[in-house]
Structure 1
Amino acid sequence: MMMLLNREMALRACGFIVFRRLASCIPPPDNIEYLLLQTSYGEHHWTPPKGHVDPGEDDLTTALRETKEEAGLGAEHLRVIDGFLQELHYEVRGRPKEVLYWLAELRDPEMPVILSDEHQDYRWARLEEACRLAQYKDLQDTLRAVHNYLEAQQNKQ
């Protein structure tokens, strides 16, 4: 019985949808770009920084650690945006996987991204390009949800 439970447990990963705002001469929401990393393995898909939860680690700590490891962007470079959390569910090699994404703004839009060996490229992309790169519908939907959320926040100001 215990073995059955372990096999059915979902893989869990956490990360950030990292965005930056470009120079103020570009009107919102067109001034927003999203960070996507291209994997150096498999089909070389594009994804926001994310990774698996280590034993004893909470989800937000995982997201911060993975973003630092994969993109060189630590907590000191990011402003976590309260009120946005997206949960994705899909299968990887026949096993269920869940991914939690928080939203974080890069404090300094010029801050360089430093890739780990897990990724071969990165791109800052506006919404439509980010959705083309993302390929998976659930990730595209997440990017659009982020964009709508940021637009709504902008309109409140």
Structure 2
Amino acid sequence: MGKRAAGFVLFRRLCGQIEYLLLKASYGDFHWSAPKGHVDPGEDDFTTARRETKEEAGYDEKDLIIYRDKQVTLNYEVKGKQKIVIYWLAELRDPNQPVVLSEEHTEYKWLAKEAAKECAKYKDYQGMIDNFHVMILEMDKNKADCP
């Protein structure tokens, strides 16, 4: 079995725009991604996602609207080994609440969908952003349809 990781794809609504949070890793290829991390022994995926988001971006569960029914699983290879990463969609309640970076990251950016996809670079990650964006728009449409 490959390594497992979990995290939240965080978005905020600011001035009518949907923006996604990307963090720049301070190691390896200095890639940009959402907060995520390895599942610790005895920990479930969702607990890992909450813990890693707090550690890497400074956001606690109370800071977020977490959509537990909105998730995407990515499977890919890292250094010849399979890796499985489960991401849930989560919205920042206060769009102006600052990010608090850990030592694992050197920068962060809030980016609109296309800019986030360009920054992330990996095809599967780009597809995930597209999928989550469609989910957000669908939720917004459903809210608008309700009297």
SS in structure 1 at match of 2:8: strand
2:137 aligns with 151
Q: Tell me the SS of whatever aligns to 1:140.
A: helix
Question: What are the Cα deviations for residues 27-55 of structure 1, in whole angstroms up to 9, with x where unaligned?
Answer: xxxx1000000001111110000000011
CA distance in 1, matches of 2:29, 2:76: 17
Shift of 1:82: 3.5
Structure 2, unmatched stretches of 5+, are: none
**Corresponding residue number in structure 1 for 2:13:** 21
**TM-score between the two structures when normalised by the length of structure 2:** 0.95
Q: Tell me the secondary structure at the aligned position of residue 131 of structure 2.
A: helix
Alignment partners' CA distance in 2, 1:13 and 1:70: 14
Code of the aligned partner of 2:90: A
Alpha-carbon distance, 1:83 to partner: 2.2
Q: Look at both structures and tell me which one has the larger radius of gyration over its CA atoms.
A: 1
Q: 1:45 aligns with which of 31, 36, 60?
A: 31
Deviation readout 1:72-101 (Å, 9 max, x if unpaired): 111111110142110000011110000000
Distance in 2 (alpha carbons) for counterparts of 1:82 and 1:97: 21
Structure 1 unaligned runs (5+)?
Answer: 1-8
**Distance in structure 2 (CA, Å) of the matches to 1:126 and 1:105:** 14
Query: Of 108, 115, 121, which aligns to 1:129?
Result: 115
Counterpart check, 1:36 vs 2:22: yes
CA drift of 1:62 comes to: 0.3
Q: Distance in 2 between matches of 1:152 and 1:103?
A: 13
Residue 77 of structure 2 corresponds to: 91
Tell me the equivalent position of 1:4.
none
Larger strand proportion, structure 1 or 2? 2
SS in 1 for 2:84: strand
Shift of 1:153: 1.1
Once residues 72 and 83 of structure 1 are traced to their aligned partners in structure 2, the CA distance between those partners, rounded to angstroms, is: 23
Structure 2 CA distance for aligned equivalents of residues 76 and 153 of structure 1: 21
- The answer to whether residue 97 in structure 2 is matched with residue 111 in structure 1 is yes
Q: CA deviation at 1:137?
A: 0.3
Runs of 4 or more above 4 Å deviation? none
CA distance in 1, matches of 2:100, 2:140: 29
RMSD: 0.8
Is residue 132 of structure 2 the alignment partner of residue 140 of structure 1? no
Count of residues in correspondence between the two structures: 143
